[in-house]
Amino acid sequence: MVLCPVIGKLLHKHVVLASASPRRQEILSNAGLRFEVVPSRFKEKLCKASFPTPSAYAVETAKQKALEVARRMHQKDLRAPDVVIGADTIVTIGGLILEKPVDKQDAYRMLSRLNGKEHSVFTGVAIVHCSDRDGRLHTEVLDFYEETTVKFSELSEELLREYIDSGEPMDKAGGYGIQALGGMLVEHVRGDFLNVVGFPLNHFCKKLAQLYCPPRPGDVRGAERDSIPAVDTFEDLSDLEGGGGSDPAWGGRGGRGGEEAGGAPPQAPGPRDADLNGAAEEKRPPFPTGLLELMEGFKASKALFTACKLNVFDVLRDQGPLKAVDIARKINASVCRTGRLLEACAALGLLHKTDAGYSNTEAADLHLVSDSAHSLHGLAVYNDSHVWDLFTHLDLAARDGAEQARGASGTKAERLFQSAETTLLFMRAMHGLSKLTARDVATAFDLSRFTSACDLGGCTGALAHELAREYPRLQVTVFDLPDVTEHARGFQPDGQRTEHVRFVPGDFFTDALPRAQLYVLSRVLHDWPDDRVHHLLSRISSCCEPGGGVLVAEAAAMEEEEAAAARRRGLQPLGALLLGAGRPRSARELGQLLQRHGFRDVRVAPAGDLLRVVLGTRAAP
Ligand SMILES: O=c1[nH]cc([C@@H]2O[C@H](COP(=O)(O)OP(=O)(O)OP(=O)(O)O)[C@@H](O)[C@H]2O)c(=O)[nH]1
């Protein structure tokens, strides 16, 4: 098939499209590709904030979609396909990533945001080559993305509502389908149209050309690395057939878009590159959207913290929607400044803005009001008043050490417990975080064989209560500093099973540890350097009876960590740098620590998105 020489390279391979998108299937089969469709079951819920750019998010999602299918197929038949293709399309505007709307209201919010403006559409693509090595799946990933800019006309509310009622937006990134009715919303498109529809065919073919048709030595076309080879270059397709793994072209440079993790870094663009028609075109470096977002990111955090501190979300939960002037009056602030803060919160997706005024988004109602079950309000206020200040001295900490950076403000304990007010601030922050993760930690392993547990540094008892709720036979002791236990009463849940949780004041480094079958250390060890961790574990080990256990929960990386989580955890050493004490440890390292202190049968399990839990059983000495 002369029209698709590079696609032809895949004809003899078992190719799988890891996508349920009918558009992707259509684009690729129209291009002559033969493939099996196995929709990915990968849940598209990577933490967007942990990616430096929206494109990196799309690429990682595409990669995870493809890898999930490769692993599942290999597991099922012990035979993976030769190639798995994954893709993910997102829309970005004003720093926000829009995916498929969850309901009509969400579609309306998305389309209103895009109305009259220009936005970017990114599709991340992953081409995964699979092979079997001694029964184990081996994968090599080439990934890339393409960006297209789309401008919407000014659209009336009526038109948007009618469009949403057509049902078209619901399974489409950004809430519109440019190939159908949604085409009427669009004033102009800059870049690859098919990229918007869901698959950047042109860039994909260039990648295949790099993989399967590397330039022959002395071939003048070698310089045109970015172009799909002209048809006449490939009269004899078979002589170049071969796997992509060891191919020097593997991981070559991208086109208008670029490379992401897994491929080689983009090469510096040449002064001129040839386009498909051979015409010379000025090559510009990709616009550094992600970098600019990072440069401005601190303002976004500050806006969120400030709105929390001024209780904007509480006011709107109780009385919203409200106009800026009314909110300003209720929070006792200047109308003009409040207006700007509210605009910023709306742009960050924390508030909705309609003709009736501002109202909370679902996330704000869940997490940013001060008294909800899943509130992170305390964490925002603590980050604003303590962590923010600390991070302004990051340069000093890097240069002169943590002591200098902390200056007169003292050690972490000194700062946190200098007054009842600061202690409570810290406890509220920890309470929100613990409640968020407690259930995942409590259920990561079946702990029903234990009848007593001691949560060391258990703070407000959020995890202790979850353990008591999950395991009816369990009595839990929360062991924490007297400054903490003194204030813990105010955090106790009403009602059931509170009699199964008790608080004992003490310092786990110096005071006798309460007797228990299971010792729990949740988000404790990262605060301490190695010598202190050994000291603590040896104390636990000598209290723990054979058959008893120790359960450690940390934001610990696994060996083959997905890039997103690794990046998120990558910020932790900054905290350690400033506090000058602890450090994050990998799940493997935590397991080795437990083994060193006499715990056997060490197992690791994920606890939600944030934490890993390591459980060890005390062996007979
Ligand atoms: O103009 C258009 N823009 C986008 C689309 C379609 O939107 C979806 C994007 O979603 P995603 O990348 O997550 O892919 P899914 O459909 O969920 O399928 P997977 O199984 O691959 O996750 C995509 O279908 C685009 O085609 C459109 O049609 N027009």
DSSP string covering 212-274: H-PPPTT-GGGG-TTSPPPGGGGS--GGG---STT-TTTT---SSSEE-TTSPPPPPPPSEEE
What's the Cα-to-Cα distance from 1 to each of 5, 36, 194, 204, 417, rounded to whole Å?
7, 20, 22, 18, 74
Give residue for tokens 């599709």.
Answer: 123
> Which secondary-structure segment (H or E) carries 96?
strand 96-98
| β-strand pairing of 83-93 with 118-133 | antiparallel
Nearest CA to ligand 1 atom 21: 19
What average pLDDT does range 511-517 have in this prediction? Answer: 98
Give residue for tokens 């090559």.
Answer: 283
Give residue for tokens 């079950």.
Answer: 373
3-state secondary structure of 509: coil
**d(C-alpha 216, C-alpha 240), whole Å:** 10
Of the pLDDT bands very low, low, confident and very high (cuts 50, 70, 90), residue 144 is: very high
Q: Is any atom of ligand 1 closer than 6 Å to the C-beta of 197?
A: yes
In SS3 terms, 342-403 reads as HHHHHHCCCEEEECCEEEECHHHHHHHCCCCCCCCHHHHHHHHHHHHHHHCCHHHHHHHCHH
Measured N-to-C along each axis, helices 324-331 and 312-319 cross at an angle, to the nearest 10 degrees, of 120
What would you measure as the largest C-alpha separation in the chain, in angstroms? 81
Cα of 39 from ligand 1 centre, angstroms? 12
What average pLDDT does range 120-139 have in this prediction? Answer: 92
Q: Is any atom of ligand 1 closer than 6 Å to the C-beta of 148?
A: no
Nearest CA to ligand 1 atom 16: 21
Q: Is any atom of ligand 1 closer than 6 Å to the C-beta of 20?
A: yes
pLDDT score recorded for residue 565? 52
pLDDT score recorded for residue 395? 80
Q: Please determine, for residue 304, whether its predicted confidence score (pLDDT) is greater than 60.
A: yes
3-state secondary structure of 48: helix
Which position has the higher pLDDT, 407 or 509? 509
Q: Is any atom of ligand 1 closer than 6 Å to the C-beta of 169?
A: no
What average pLDDT does range 513-526 have in this prediction? Answer: 96
pLDDT score recorded for residue 241? 31
> Which secondary-structure segment (H or E) carries 144?
strand 136-152
Going by C-alpha positions, the residue among 367, 373, 358 that lies closest to residue 308 is 367
What average pLDDT does range 77-106 have in this prediction? Answer: 92
Q: Is any atom of ligand 1 closer than 6 Å to the C-beta of 200?
A: no
pLDDT score recorded for residue 254? 32
Q: Please determine, for residue 511, whether its predicted confidence score (pLDDT) is greater than 90.
A: yes
> pLDDT tens digits for 359-372?
999 889 999 999 99
- Report cis status (omega within 30 of 0) of the bond before 321: yes
Q: Please determine, for residue 233, whether its predicted confidence score (pLDDT) is greater than 50.
A: no
Q: Which atom of ligand 1 is nearest to the CA of 182?
A: 1
**d(C-alpha 383, C-alpha 395), whole Å:** 18
Q: Please determine, for residue 3, whether its predicted confidence score (pLDDT) is greater than 70.
A: no
Of the pLDDT bands very low, low, confident and very high (cuts 50, 70, 90), residue 70 is: very high
Residues, the chain, total?
A: 621
State the chain's mean pLDDT as an integer.
83
Q: Is any atom of ligand 1 closer than 6 Å to the C-beta of 338?
A: no
**d(C-alpha 148, C-alpha 97), whole Å:** 14
End-to-end CA distance of the chain: 72
* b/e 520-558 (16+ beta carbons within 10 angstroms → b): bbbbbbbbbeeeebeebbebbbebbeeebbbbbbbbbbe
| β-strand pairing of 83-93 with 15-17 | parallel
Testing ligand 1's pocket by substitution, the residue of 30, 37, 60, 89 carrying the most ligand atoms inside 8 A of its CB is 89
Cα of 58 from ligand 1 centre, angstroms? 12
| Lowest-confidence region among 33-47, 95-109, 157-171 | 33-47
DSSP 405-450: HHGGG--HHHHHTSSHHHHHHHHHHHHHHHHHHHHHHHHSS--TT-
pLDDT score recorded for residue 252? 30
Of the pLDDT bands very low, low, confident and very high (cuts 50, 70, 90), residue 24 is: very high
Cα of 173 from ligand 1 centre, angstroms? 6
pLDDT score recorded for residue 224? 38
Q: Is any atom of ligand 1 closer than 6 Å to the C-beta of 179?
A: yes
What average pLDDT does range 316-327 have in this prediction? Answer: 95
Contact 266, 253 (CB under 8 A): yes
Q: Is any atom of ligand 1 closer than 6 Å to the C-beta of 539?
A: no
| Lowest-confidence region among 6-20, 356-370, 527-541 | 6-20
What is the Rg, in whole angstroms, of the alpha carbon atoms belonging to the chain? 28
| Lowest-confidence region among 228-232, 304-308, 315-319, 541-545 | 228-232
Cα of 102 from ligand 1 centre, angstroms? 13
Of the pLDDT bands very low, low, confident and very high (cuts 50, 70, 90), residue 403 is: low
Q: Please determine, for residue 267, whether its predicted confidence score (pLDDT) is greater than 60.
A: no
Cα of 219 from ligand 1 centre, angstroms? 39
Which position has the higher pLDDT, 368 or 566? 368
Catalytic residue among 82, 88, 275, 511: 88
Give the percent of the chain with pLDDT over 70: 80
> pLDDT tens digits for 329-378?
999 998 888 999 999 999 888 999 888 999 999 889 999 999 998 999 99
Going by C-alpha positions, the residue among 456, 493, 494 that lies closest to residue 478 is 456
> pLDDT tens digits for 570-618?
555 556 555 556 788 888 899 999 999 999 999 998 888 778 999 999 9
pLDDT score recorded for residue 232? 27
Q: Is any atom of ligand 1 closer than 6 Å to the C-beta of 183?
A: no
Cα of 20 from ligand 1 centre, angstroms? 8
**d(C-alpha 250, C-alpha 261), whole Å:** 13
Count CB neighbours of 62 within 10 A.
Answer: 30
Could you say which DSSP state residue 597 is in?
A: T
pLDDT score recorded for residue 265? 33
Q: Which atom of ligand 1 is nearest to the CA of 58?
A: 12
Going by C-alpha positions, the residue among 295, 300, 293 that lies closest to residue 384 is 300
Going by C-alpha positions, the residue among 229, 372, 244 that lies closest to residue 308 is 372
Contact 526, 572 (CB under 8 A): yes
Testing ligand 1's pocket by substitution, the residue of 41, 67, 172, 176 carrying the most ligand atoms inside 8 A of its CB is 172
**d(C-alpha 492, C-alpha 178), whole Å:** 53
What average pLDDT does range 102-113 have in this prediction? Answer: 96
| Alpha helix stretches (DSSP H) within 39-198 | 54-77, 104-114, 157-165, 193-197
CA triplet 399, 403, 408: central angle to 5 degrees? 120
Measured N-to-C along each axis, helices 335-347 and 324-331 cross at an angle, to the nearest 10 degrees, of 110
Q: Is any atom of ligand 1 closer than 6 Å to the C-beta of 297?
A: no
Cα of 563 from ligand 1 centre, angstroms? 23
Contact 364, 313 (CB under 8 A): yes
**d(C-alpha 599, C-alpha 481), whole Å:** 26
Contact 119, 196 (CB under 8 A): no
Q: Is any atom of ligand 1 closer than 6 Å to the C-beta of 173?
A: yes
Contact 73, 53 (CB under 8 A): no
What average pLDDT does range 250-272 have in this prediction? Answer: 36
Q: Please determine, for residue 112, whether its predicted confidence score (pLDDT) is greater than 60.
A: yes
Of the pLDDT bands very low, low, confident and very high (cuts 50, 70, 90), residue 273 is: very low
Count of alpha carbons within 13 angstroms of residue 479, beta-carbon side: 23
Q: Is any atom of ligand 1 closer than 6 Å to the C-beta of 124?
A: no
Could you say which DSSP state residue 1 is in?
A: -
| Lowest-confidence region among 70-79, 238-247, 556-565 | 238-247
Contact 125, 24 (CB under 8 A): no
Cα of 174 from ligand 1 centre, angstroms? 9
Looking at the predicted complex, does its ipTM rise above 0.90? yes
**d(C-alpha 139, C-alpha 26), whole Å:** 26
Amino acid identity of residue 112, one-letter, is: S
Nearest CA to ligand 1 atom 15: 21
> pLDDT tens digits for 203-232?
999 998 888 776 555 444 433 334 444 332
Is 531 a residue of the active site?
no
**d(C-alpha 342, C-alpha 303), whole Å:** 9
Q: Which atom of ligand 1 is nearest to the CA of 87?
A: 21
Going by C-alpha positions, the residue among 287, 226, 364 that lies closest to residue 92 is 287
